[in-house]
Amino acid sequence: SGGFSERRTTQAKNWMWMEVYQTLLDSFKSDNEVGLKIPHFEAAIKDGTLPPTLAARKLLDIFLKK
């Protein structure tokens, strides 16, 4: 039926994006430079000296080599 087919297509697209997210996250976390910074940024977030959004941006910049 049409409803089943639509749900199946939506599910397939969701699986595709979950695979993309997981692969990117694995690659991100296994990056040497990122890995060295994560503990420092997490500590700074805990201390309240670094906002989480800025920490994320800095880690992404390192990962993307900007």
Per-residue pLDDT of the chain (66 residues; tens, 9 = 90+): 688 999 999 999 999 999 999 999 999 999 999 999 999 999 999 999 999 999 999 999 999 997
Residue partners of 23: CB distance under 8 A and separation at least 6 = none
Q: What is the model's pTM?
A: 0.77
3-state secondary structure of 28: helix
